[in-house]
Amino acid sequence: MPGRAFPVVYSREVERSVGFYRRLGFEPHFRFQPDGEAGYVSLRRGDTDLGIVAAEWPEQRIGVEVGSKPRFELFVYVDDVDQTVGELRGAGVPVLREPEDMPWGERTAYVADPDGNPVTVAMAGLTAGQGIEQLVRRFYAEVWNRWDEAALDEVLDEDFTFRGSLGDEVRGRAGFRGYRDKIREAFPDFHNEIVDLVTDGERAAARLRYSGHHQGEVLDAPATGALVTYSGAAFFTAVGGRLREVWVLGDVDGLRRQLGAHGPT
């Protein structure tokens, strides 16, 4: 098969590695042994092949001992870096570096496969017509998930208006900071996941999933330490390359039930 080449990963746990790469869109198309624990699995993603072989193989065949340090880096393109990283994190995959926009126009993040090898997940750079999408993703990945002060000033317009998932309405960057700090005190590890996102010119709508450990009072409920999750929907308007308005509707009733709080009577 002249002209064809592909990388082979040495793995201490072949099946676990296969499961990891399946989450990145690779599918097995050859196994050896076909029954029981496989010593080798070939995976394919489009025109790209990747082999996973048991670490004992190079040790037995060519006397190469597989060490504990990373042995390669794989670069994988995905449709949505933030969503992919969120799904991998939810499956227990270590995230080495959070999603970020790179100077050459791509958005990238680093995760680790089961053997500790770094894997870059990336998406192509956004065009000018997709500016609202980039703003929305930065709003959640940087302003919220990383509490990034510099990003807040870059993403939010001076005349920013915001309605949060808990129903609070604030104006300006200072007003938003006050709301953000309130959420941060209640959920220090508050995480926002974009489940779905659609854009139309300078407007966008997103379906969201929120999560965090309840470490401070919120909705009149004292800290419980419990991990809570709730859903929401958000609507965005951008002006001049910044977000001017964000209106969010959260499942407050579902959150109250998890906190053991009682709503208004």
- Topology of 128-259 in CATH? Nuclear Transport Factor 2; Chain: A, (3.10.450)
Beta bridge partners of 10: 53
Phi first, then psi: give them for residue 212, nearest 5 degrees: 170, 160
Q: Tell me what pLDDT residue 105 has.
A: 63
Residue among 152, 135, 105, 249 at smallest CA distance from 201: 135
- Give the alpha-carbon dihedral of 157, 196, 111, 34, to 10 degrees: -170
Q: Tell me what pLDDT residue 8 has.
A: 85
- The helix/strand/coil state of 244 is strand
List average pLDDT for each run of 10 residues in the chain, which is 265 residues long: 70 92 92 78 89 84 72 81 92 92 76 88 56 90 91 90 90 95 92 93 92 88 89 91 91 86 46
Q: Tell me what pLDDT residue 127 has.
A: 41
User: What is the CB neighbour count within 10 angstroms for residue 241?
Assistant: 14
- Topology of 8-123 in CATH? 2,3-Dihydroxybiphenyl 1,2-Dioxygenase; domain 1 (3.10.180)
Query: Going by DSSP bridges, is the β-strand pair 156-163/107-112 parallel, antiparallel, or unpaired?
Result: unpaired
Residues of the chain with CATH 3.10.180.10: 8-123
Are 101 and 107 contacting, i.e. CB atoms less than 8 angstroms apart? yes
Q: Tell me what pLDDT residue 262 has.
A: 47
Q: Check residue 167 and report its DSSP letter.
A: S
Are 110 and 147 contacting, i.e. CB atoms less than 8 angstroms apart? no
Q: Tell me what pLDDT residue 103 has.
A: 64
User: What is the CB neighbour count within 10 angstroms for residue 37?
Assistant: 9
CA distance readout (Å), 184 to 145, 159, 190, 224, 229: 10, 23, 7, 15, 15
Query: Going by DSSP bridges, is the β-strand pair 48-54/8-11 parallel, antiparallel, or unpaired?
Result: parallel
The pair of structure tokens assigned to 10 is 């040495």
| Half-sphere exposure for 127 (CA within 13 Å, toward CB) | 3
d(CA 144, CA 206): 15
When computed from its CA atoms, the radius of gyration of the chain, rounded to whole angstroms, is 22
Residues of the chain with CATH 3.10.450.50: 128-259
